Amino acid sequence: MKLSLAVLALTLSSALSFTIPSNAAHRRTVNSDTSMTTQLQATTGVARNKNFAKLAGGYLFPEIGRRRNAYLEQNPSANIISLGIGDTTQPIPSAILKGLVDGATALGTQDGYSGYGAEQGKADLREKISEVLYNGLIDPSEVFVSDGAKCDIQRIQNMFGPDVISAVQDPSYPVYVDTSVMMGQTQQLDEAKGQYDGIVYMECNEANGFYPDVAASPRADVVYICSPNNPTGVAATRAQLEETVKVCKERGSILVFDAAYAPFIRSPDVPKSIFEIEGAKDCAIEVNSFSKYAGFTGVRLGWTVVPEGLKFSDGTPVRQDFNRVMTTSFNGASNIVQAGGLACLSPAGMKEIETLIDYYLENAGILRKTFIDLGYNVYGGTDAPYIFVSLNGKSSWDTFSEILEKAEVVTIPGAGFGPGGEGFLRLSAFAPREGVIEACERLKKAMA
């Protein structure tokens, strides 16, 4: 019996050695998320998704967090101020909070209880989004309520699949590129360029006002535009968006418009939605979020608008396939949170949102002035919660480290948003006022 067990173990281990490659051969550094960089040894015979192996490094924001924590570990008494990740800091205002509380309370009553909701969101919230935020430009049936814009970008990519070519602004919010890589739309990273082969990078720089010349870029199937922009803080003009819609229509491209920072727009005539542009319903999808509207970054609520008439090349409505994704892989946003969303869109909620946004925009103004006074070229911060500072040719990661060490302020290096961001620094206005003022005092000393 003992012997046969030993034989069985031997047989098993030799069988396994066929399916699991030898440890030595597969011992290597896995750095798809640098916060979890480890020497791994195979414990299964499952091949890694080859697209994940293409990812050059970890996702940007955890990497920033890792460096911040490393600094804290070395300097335990440090008093760090974060102007890094764009995460809201101010409490949820009362009328909106009441919506959330009432939503939760209702679940404790027989009449108010509800279980799984419609995967596309509650009908009354879809109606309110259409009415209050789009002035009826879009139909409630075109609104898909979700748990946030970031998650929707991934779901949109899931719908498009691996066979499309995506175009992004360079620099841009890293999720568009990273999800394109994960989906298998790209080849490898071109180390010299810092760009993935197979993605169209549309240059955004000081000379073009940080808005790309879409017509001069190669055709892509899916064009990602974010306005007001992360990271540059620049909002696209009506003329720029009209031109982009025109080019997308001519080329048969789908424009994915990320309007997560729309409520920060204060300049008159800057569109808050792509659907303010004539013809956009023939070519565009819009992703949006309550995160920055109402301090819902942790609460989680967003939406995507997919126009009824938007069709793939074989005539299938895009909305039909997006609905298939949502019904299959999403079970609807939390009913409590959707009650909070409804409260956001009440007259009292909209007023509270306005006050919150004004607060962050005043922070942005303080940051802008600090860097302008120091003699830097500064972009954004008037229609967006980010300012983008030109470092006059200095490396953005070096400047990030220098500011962390000298001023104990966390910023985001522009290079984290793509090669086009090198030489710039992004600062977020999402912080308590006293933190912004203190950070500016420290930055004046560190950067003078």
**Interacting residues with ligand PGU (CB under 6 A):** 61, 85-86, 148-151, 173, 226, 230, 258, 260, 289, 291, 297, 302
Task: Show Cβ contacts of residue 435 under 8 Å, excluding neighbours closer than 6 positions.
Answer: 81, 82, 83, 89
To ligand PGU, the closest distance from the beta carbon of 328 in angstroms equals 20
Q: Which of 181, 156, 171 is CA-nearest to residue 32?
A: 181
> Of 20 and 56, which CB lies nearer to ligand PGU in the complex structure?
56
Q: Which helix (DSSP H) or strand (DSSP E) does residue 8 occupy? A: helix 2-19
CB atoms within 10 A of CB 289: 26
To ligand PGU, the closest distance from the beta carbon of 410 in angstroms equals 11
Q: Which helix (DSSP H) or strand (DSSP E) does residue 186 occupy? A: none
> Of 36 and 216, which CB lies nearer to ligand PGU in the complex structure?
36
To ligand PGU, the closest distance from the beta carbon of 148 in angstroms equals 3
- DSSP 3-state assignment of 226? strand
> Of 83 and 247, which CB lies nearer to ligand PGU in the complex structure?
83
394 contacts 125 by C-beta, under 8 angstroms: no
Q: Supply the DSSP string of 198-223, one letter for each residue.
A: TEEEEE--TTTTT---TTTSPP-SEE
Could you tell me how far CA 195 lies from the centroid of its own chain?
19
- DSSP 3-state assignment of 311? strand
To ligand PGU, the closest distance from the beta carbon of 230 in angstroms equals 4
To ligand PGU, the closest distance from the beta carbon of 65 in angstroms equals 11
> Of 85 and 104, which CB lies nearer to ligand PGU in the complex structure?
85
Q: Would you state the structure tokens that stand for residue 439, as one six-digit string?
A: 């950070």
To ligand PGU, the closest distance from the beta carbon of 313 in angstroms equals 27
Give the CA distances from residue 52 to residues 60, 162, 178, 334, 381, in Å, rounded to whole numbers and listed in that order: 15, 13, 9, 30, 35
> Of 252 and 289, which CB lies nearer to ligand PGU in the complex structure?
289
> Of 289 and 370, which CB lies nearer to ligand PGU in the complex structure?
289
To ligand PGU, the closest distance from the beta carbon of 257 in angstroms equals 10
> Of 125 and 252, which CB lies nearer to ligand PGU in the complex structure?
125
d(CA 350, CA 346): 6
Q: Which residue reads 């006293």 in tokens?
A: 434
> Of 20 and 386, which CB lies nearer to ligand PGU in the complex structure?
386
d(CA 232, CA 218): 23
> Of 136 and 305, which CB lies nearer to ligand PGU in the complex structure?
305
> Of 226 and 235, which CB lies nearer to ligand PGU in the complex structure?
226
To ligand PGU, the closest distance from the beta carbon of 172 in angstroms equals 8
d(CA 127, CA 124): 5
Q: What are φ and ψ of residue 287, in 5° steps?
A: -105, 145
> Of 297 and 395, which CB lies nearer to ligand PGU in the complex structure?
297
Q: Helices 433-447 and 396-407 meet at what angle, rounded to 10? A: 110
To ligand PGU, the closest distance from the beta carbon of 149 in angstroms equals 4
d(CA 262, CA 229): 10
To ligand PGU, the closest distance from the beta carbon of 401 in angstroms equals 19
Give the CA distances from residue 423 to residues 202, 211, 405, 411, in Å, rounded to whole numbers and listed in that order: 17, 17, 19, 13
The residue type at 192? A
To ligand PGU, the closest distance from the beta carbon of 309 in angstroms equals 25
Q: Would you state the structure tokens that stand for residue 104, as one six-digit string?
A: 């939760």
d(CA 169, CA 256): 12
* Radius of gyration for the alpha carbons in the chain, expressed in angstroms and rounded: 24
